[in-house]
Structure 1
């Protein structure tokens, strides 16, 4: 249950053509998630809110309606008006006090569509007009390319990693994700002191699958071939694992990681069962998490970065689109793997992704 950070009354959830929001019947305040705000407000205004919140440019005073952690109160200036907004960077929730939402730079079609006295056909027509406005804006700006909003995005941009721009807010701490990430980091770091020996001892060798009673199917998950290999996998686990853990619960999340890891290694072994080259990495298990995330949150916005002239530009696309591109890439890697042109196991990634698809289908059927 969401609670008003001001008067602590239960908030009421309302649905619009742009998504849900929660309002307080007493003080008329309103809680809006970042993805919904991006659909209804001027982009520069939303970017300013999120940038200030991520950079901690404010003070923490009131509790988040969802997670009860203290939100950061950031100063927002737009045109000649200025006000303070409470932001929870954990849940991606922005709290508007009385009249603040009405005074914010809402796109006109969105403001009209939110009016309760409009008929559903009228709201739908206004929503279509809003989509046309956004499409025209994107066309004038050169498609879906956009400049980098925050300094922290530069790091994954330089490494070629995607950034989650608009995802579902997480209301519980992803303790299983953090625990697995911590265990992988510690095990890999310790192995770096004598990496060759560690990989030979605990890596997965297709021709010797029965070593330690088959436990190398699990031990290989915790080892990595280098620092960048480790950091890349930890990044993907942190970005996509929290949402998947919240949907599945921590027990089924860990079961997904195990199943995806085993499925990934199984396909890797099937591709070349006589290989004596040890293989390590958490990529197979994390591929299952990625697949489950993309299918469960297909409309989540991801940012992929590329160089445009001399500047880094962000190209936005939905999670389902990024997943299709990722699967095609793994298919190419699998072909190269068969030809001996790469040491990356595309088969392990595809096997893990298959387990993620199965997990999504099972959970979807149950819900």
Structure 2
């Protein structure tokens, strides 16, 4: 199950969100050997917890956010950033959103390093920073309507759910997978840490907007009119 869009695209062009997507795609092509990229650059820019704890290769704290390990990895991350980034950038402003994004990525990295400081396994991906975007979105727009595609073996269905259902379900999966120690190469601790950091870092903005009064004013959705999308070819699940 994954989101394909929300019903309230931002009022302004989300230049930072688009720029982050372009930068991630560019570095992906620069580091993938099948695209003529340099694997050595990927190795050099990844985050190694054991190196950070010894004060080496500190640039990896930032550069790892723009590297990915495969097509599905970057496709999933960029999809989530595209769906949830624009409205948050609309509220924070371009520079505020960029600072928020990077801070969430750093918090996610800190969580992963704290969980396994002696690890020499490289950590890459924008997932921690994007998890922060998801956490901020949950705080600001819990009742935003999100279109989701569910794939069950060969059956594909589209349905609309409130953002809080999708985001809390995603967060729960990260917690459970991290707690049971799932060995699939996914940094679940970083995801959970980034998500919580996003909520905390978005809290000042939420309070400036009025806190719960902001929810009452906007009904928990982005504060502008929703769009009506044309019918999709994907069958919709009827309630």
1:204 to 16, 25, 47: 47
Question: What TM-score comes out, normalization by structure 1 length?
Answer: 0.53
Equivalent position SS for 1:211? coil
Q: Give the C-alpha shift of residue 251 in structure 1.
A: 1.0
Unaligned stretches of 5+ residues in structure 2: 210-239
Which of the pair has more CA radius of gyration?
A: 1
Query: Is 1:362 aligned with 2:204?
Result: yes
Counterpart-to-counterpart distance in 1, 2:108 and 2:73: 17
Higher strand share: 1
Structure 1, residues 103-133: CA drift from partner, whole Å, max 9, x if none? xxxxxxxxxxxxxxxxxxxxxxxxxxxxxxx
Q: Give the C-alpha shift of residue 307 in structure 1.
A: 4.8
Counterpart-to-counterpart distance in 1, 2:66 and 2:154: 38
Question: What TM-score comes out, normalization by structure 2 length?
Answer: 0.79
Say what the alpha-carbon RMSD is for the aligned residues.
Answer: 1.9
Aligned to 1:190: 30
Query: Is 1:332 aligned with 2:173?
Result: no
Equivalent position SS for 2:132? helix
- Summarize the Cα distance change of 1:306–1:177 in structure 2 as closer, same or farther, 3 Å threshold: closer
Instruction: Report if the CA contact (8 A) 1:199-1:279 is conserved.
Output: no
Q: Give the C-alpha shift of residue 236 in structure 1.
A: 1.0
Counterpart-to-counterpart distance in 2, 1:308 and 1:204: 35
Higher helix share: 2
Q: Give the C-alpha shift of residue 360 in structure 1.
A: 2.1
Aligned to 1:177: 17
Aligned to 1:350: 192
Q: Give the C-alpha shift of residue 299 in structure 1.
A: 1.0
Aligned to 2:229: none
Aligned to 2:105: 261
Deviant stretches of 4+, over 4 Å:
307-311
Aligned length: 204
Equivalent position SS for 1:288? helix
Query: Is 1:283 aligned with 2:127?
Result: yes
Query: Is 1:161 aligned with 2:2?
Result: yes
